[in-house]
Structures are given as structure tokens and as C-alpha cells.
Chains A and B, each alone.
Chain A
Amino acid sequence: MARSVTPQRKALNTAAAWAIGLLIFFPILWTIITSFKTEAQAISDPPVFLFFDWTLENYGAVMERSNYGRFLWNSIIIAGGSTLLGVIIAVPAAWSMAFVPSNRTKDILLWMLSTKMLPAVGVLYPMYLIFIKFGLLDSRTGLVIVLMLINLPIIVWMLYTYFREIPGEILEAARMDGATLKSEIIYILTPMAIPGIASTMLLNFILAWNEAFWTLNLTAAKAAPLTAFIASYSSPEGLFYAKLSAASTIAIAPILILGWFSQKQLVRGLTFGAVK
């Protein structure tokens, strides 16, 4: 919908959009700036914006306090593990739905989507019991499984929409040339599907990283990821704004960077292909 407009109009658009963009981004920007202040500067009135002695001491303090590295590592393992496991299970399913569709394919896809709508709180206690029964409470394995299950419908759906864009003729040609199912998957589909698989993994890594119901309720100390670590700051303790900011910055920085690469996939993944 690119239309030609006068330079004045374009300048006006630019000014308005930047002003609103910066306003929306401001809380994040302010958190990042605050993380480099001393605790006294962090609460000074009037607030200091850019002209202060930037310090890294909060990052040091956060790292020392309560073993920050372990929370970070838990987040990486849980988000990465659940994404990887989900993709391994979803690729064959999405492949067969995209290339060997049957009358029931649509129903199965919609049913999978419906499992995503189950409110977590409705099954909180059963999950709690199952976790205790199998010794999964406060374990990374348990969270990897649960987060894989809640994101599996999205993974299947995203992969399905990507796979459907791969032209079927190529497969037929390969089959005519006598390619087996195995070689078809390894030599033809996989190379064509890798961009789609990568985008799917990216979005699901982000969703799993930020998940804050099961990670808060099914972990205590051992397996708690960053969501739980940040939640531990909910009871204030003296001056802690700068440290809270530093902890928050480390928790969101990797995802902000990944997220900027996944804008397009976000729409596809979260609207189940209904908005293009």
C-alpha cells in the first residue's frame, strides 16, 4: 500500500511514529539504563537520564546473588529442550498432514489447536500430583515435557503451514525417479523445510522462555528458570531497583534479540495461518 506523499506528510508520519514507538519502548529502555546506575541514582528525584557514571556493579551483584547462572542455564535447557523435543515429534506429524492429507487431517489439526485452549489452572492440581508421582517436581525434565506439550500444537501448525508451501510436484518427480520415503525426506524435504523449521523453533523458544505459569508453579529451587528468579524480587528488600533492572535486562536481552528476527513468524505462529 505504498503511496507517494509529500515530504512534509512523510516527516509528520515519521515524527508521530517515532514518538509513539519510543513511548512504548520507554519502559524497556529505562530498565536497561537503570541497570547501569548505582542504587542511589536509580531512585534519585529528579531522575538522571544519561549523564551519570555508568557502572557494571549491579550485574556483578546479581551474578553473585543466588547463583544467577543456574537460573539462566535452567531457562536455556528448558526452553531449548522443549523446543527441540517438540520439533522432533512435530516434524513427522506435520509432514504427513501436509503431503499425505486425508479427510481427517483438518479435524486433527483443529483438535490439536483445541488442546492449546485448555486453561492451565484447570489442570494445575492433577499436574502437581503427576509430577510428584513421577518425581518430576522441581526438575528440568518435567518442565521440558510440559512446555513441549503446551507448545506442540503451535509447532505442528507452523510446520504444517510451511510444509504446505513446498510444491508437491517435486516430491512426485523424486518418487518417479525411484526415491524411497527415507531419501525423499532426507534429500528433498529437509533442505527445503529448514527455514520453516528454524523459524518455528525460534518462536517456540521465545514462548517457552517467557512461559510463567508452569515454570512458577512446578519449580522450587533446583529447576527454577529466570521467570521464577525474577519473581523472587517481588518482595522488596531495601534499595534494589538497579539490581532488579540488571537482572531483568539479562533475562530479556537474549529474547529481545531473537524476537526481532521472528516478527513474521510471530504472526503466522500465533494466528495459526489465519492472517497473512
Chain B
Amino acid sequence: MATKASRSAARVMMAPAVILLLGWMLVPLTMTLWFSFRKYLPLRGGDLGGAGFDNYLRFVSSSAFWPSVITTLLIVGSVLVITVCLGILLAMLLDQPMWGQGVVRILVIAPFFVMPTVSALVWKNIFMDPNNGLFAHLWRFFGADPVSWMSAASMPSIILIVSWQWLPFATLILLTAIQSLDGEQLEAAEMDGAPHLKRFWYIVLPHLSRAITIVILIQTIFLLSIFAEIFVTTGGAFGTKTLTYLIFQRVLESQNVGLGSAGGVYAIILANIVAIFLMRIVGKNLDA
């Protein structure tokens, strides 16, 4: 159906988006790559010449590197486990017949729409403040000593906040997937006397597997670059310095651009490994 004229018209129409994204990808990326091989200290003389792979080696051998990798993996891993497991349970519950389903859906989804700086600050102060927070009141009510969450339990606190933000996303996508499940298949299994757990394990879970994979991949990409939640709560202190935050500090706080850029290249490689898997699934879906 496409004529030659419409083909060239199509190319012209696509051009602005393609050129802009190409520029957006290539220009800063090339600069980051360039800086990563330079000794570049904007406040202490600027570009001080080539550095070979020094920045890459120094970034990895700095004492902050491995802790930041572990922190990143811990946050991403815990949030994934929490949101996917609770998300499946919640999606199955929301799929059941009930009164006021629409309203409950709205209540559950709401946290996703709260801007990250707001949710982090509200949790940090109004809930987790060791003197005046709601948790402190609750702890005192039960005769326990209030916990200073952001210093003594910094990681669980951040994981809780981030999980709260992302549980709605997981639930919503898994619920969409569950609703496309063939009810007759389940009923047939029920009539054949398959117990709940078996029905879940052999019918529901396999049906959800693709949606679960997608939730995991998309969340991983977003969670790897969590920033605001740490910026406004601990500022990277108390063992909550993620890889993203470490790079941010190298670049903007200590103004060591070469070193930070090398870190940035590591982060880009890490994100790309996850992205390849996601693209495969999305690409397959395009053919269908």
C-alpha cells in the first residue's frame, strides 16, 4: 500500500525524532567517554591531560566502590522481591469479586503518582522521625524505644520507601496480566479437584511469567538510577550510597569529572546488560 512518495514522506516525518534522539544519545555519551580517559578537575586546573585507564582503575579500587555496588544490589534486589511477591498477591486479591473494586484500585495505585522528593521527605519526617514521627509514637505506645530509622536502620528504611513507590506499578501490571487469564481453564482445574496452591503454581504463575519478567526488567532499570530518595533522606550517609549516588558525588561534589565519568561508563554498561534482555522481550512482542 505504501507508494514511493509516501515512503520518502515517512522518512521526512521520522527524521526529527530520530535525529534528536541520536544527538541526545551520542553527544553526551561521547563526552563522557572522552572525559573518562582524561584527568579532568574543573576546580583545580581543568583538563590536565590524558589519563589512560587510570580513572577506570581508580574508580574500581576506591574504598567506596564495592560498598556502593553492594548497596545498589541490595536495594534493587530487595525492592524487586518485595514488590513482585506482594504485587502478585495483591493483584490476585484485586481480581476477586468485591464491592468497590474501582476505589480500592485507586487507593493502591496512588503512591506511584507521588513525586519522589515528596514521598521520601514525608516518610523520613512524618513517619520515621525518631522524636515526632508516627512510628515513634507507635513504638512508645507499645513501650518500646523509638528507632532512629534513617541512621540506625537506613537501608530497610530506604527499601521500604522505594517499595512503597513501586508496589503499585508491579500490582497494576500483574493485575492487567491476570485479567487476561482464561477463566474457563481455571474452572476446569477447580472441577477436577486441583487445590488452590496447585492451580496457582501450574496455571496462574506460568501465565504471569512474562508480565513478571517485564516488571523485573523495567523496575531494575529505574531502580538502578534511584536518586531523589537518597538525596533528600540520608544524602548517601549510613551505608546508603548507591553507585548512582557515588558517581553524582564524584562529579558534582568533589568535581573529579574524569573519575566520575569512568563511573558513569560502568553504570551505562550495567544498565545495558539489563536493557538487552528487556529489548528482546519487547522485540518479540512486536512481531506478534
Q: Give A contacts to B, CB under 8 Å.
A: 1-5, 9-10, 13-14, 16-18, 20-22, 24-25, 27-28, 30-31, 34, 42-43, 45-47, 89-90, 92-93, 95-97, 99-102, 106, 108-110, 112-115, 117-130, 149, 152-153, 156, 168, 171-172, 181, 206, 209-210, 212-213, 216-217, 226-228, 230-231, 233-234, 236, 240-241, 244-245, 248, 251-252, 255-256, 258-260, 263, 266-267, 270-276
Q: Which of chain A's residues have a CB closer than 8 A to the CB of B286?
A: 106, 109-110, 273
Contacts of B132 in A (CB 8 A): 43, 45, 241
CA distance A66 to B95 in the complex (A): 46
With A14-B98, A16-B93, A96-B14 in contact, do A125 and B282 touch (Cβ < 8 Å)?
no
Contact with A along B230-263 (1 / 0, CB 8 A): 0111000000000010011001100001001100
Q: A2-B183, A14-B99, A125-B35 are in contact. List 17 more A-B contacts (CB 8 A).
A: A1-B178, A3-B97, A20-B93, A20-B108, A25-B107, A96-B13, A123-B264, A124-B252, A124-B260, A125-B32, A126-B28, A130-B27, A210-B113, A210-B115, A231-B117, A274-B282, A274-B285
Q: Which of A101, A212, A233, A266: most chain B CB closer than 10 A?
A: A212
Task: Show the binding face of B for A, using Cβ within 8 Å.
Answer: 1-2, 6-7, 9-11, 13-14, 16-18, 20-21, 24-25, 27-29, 31-32, 35, 90, 93-101, 103-119, 121-127, 132, 134, 136-137, 140-141, 164, 167-169, 172-173, 176-181, 183, 186-187, 210-211, 214, 218, 221, 224-225, 227-228, 231-233, 244, 247-248, 251-252, 257, 260-261, 264-265, 267-268, 270-272, 274-275, 278-279, 281-283, 285-287
When the two chains form their complex, are residues A28 and B93 in contact, meaning their CB atoms are under 8 A apart?
no
A212 touches B28 (CB 8 A): no
Q: Are A227 and B113 in contact (CB under 8 A)?
A: no
A119 contacts B173, C-beta separation under 8 Å: no
Are the C-beta atoms of A263 and B224 separated by less than 8 Å? no
Nearest first, the 9 closest Cβ-Cβ pairs linking A and B are A96-B10, A92-B13, A122-B264, A123-B28, A126-B31, A259-B113, A21-B107, A212-B228, A93-B17
Beta-carbon contact of B10 and A234 below 8 Å: no
Cα-based distance from A128 to B271 in the complex (angstroms): 21
A172 CB, min distance to chain B CBs, angstroms: 6
How many angstroms between the C-alpha atoms of A271 and B260 in the bound complex?
31
26 sample A-B contacts, Cβ–Cβ < 8 Å, listed by A number: A1-B186, A3-B183, A10-B98, A17-B94, A21-B105, A21-B108, A24-B168, A25-B111, A30-B126, A31-B122, A46-B141, A93-B14, A95-B13, A96-B10, A106-B283, A110-B283, A112-B18, A117-B272, A118-B25, A119-B244, A119-B271, A125-B31, A210-B113, A230-B232, A234-B233, A275-B214
Contact of A227 among B32, B115, B278 (CB under 8 A): B115
In the assembled complex, the Cα of A17 lies from the Cα of B244 at a distance in Å of: 36
Q: Are A3 and B187 in contact (CB under 8 A)?
A: yes
Residues of B within 8 A of A213 (CB): 225, 227-228
Chain A positions within 8 Å of B167 at CB level: 24
- Residue among B99, B116, B123 making CB contact with A10, cutoff 8 Å: B99
Closest residue of chain B to A4, judged by CB? B97
The binding surface of chain B is classed by DSSP as helix
A39 to chain B, nearest CB (A): 10
Q: Chain A residues near B224 (CB, 8 Å)?
A: 119
Closest to B168 in A: A24
Cβ 8 A contact of A1, one of B29, B123, B124, B181: B181
Q: How far is the CB of A121 from chain B (nearest CB, A)?
A: 5
With most chain B CB atoms within 10 A of its CB, the pick from A16, A172, A230, A260 is A230
Residues of chain A within 8 A of B264, CB atoms compared: 119, 121-125
By the criterion CB–CB under 8 Å, are B100 and A212 in contact?
A: no
For residue B260, which residue of chain A has the nearest CB?
A: A125
- B118 & A121 in contact (Cβ 8 Å cutoff): no
Please indicate the chain B residues that have their CB under 8 angstroms from the CB of A123 in the complex.
Answer: 28-29, 31-32, 264
Among A2, A34, A89, A240: residue with most chain B CB under 10 A: A89
Bound Cα distance A97, B18 (Å):
12
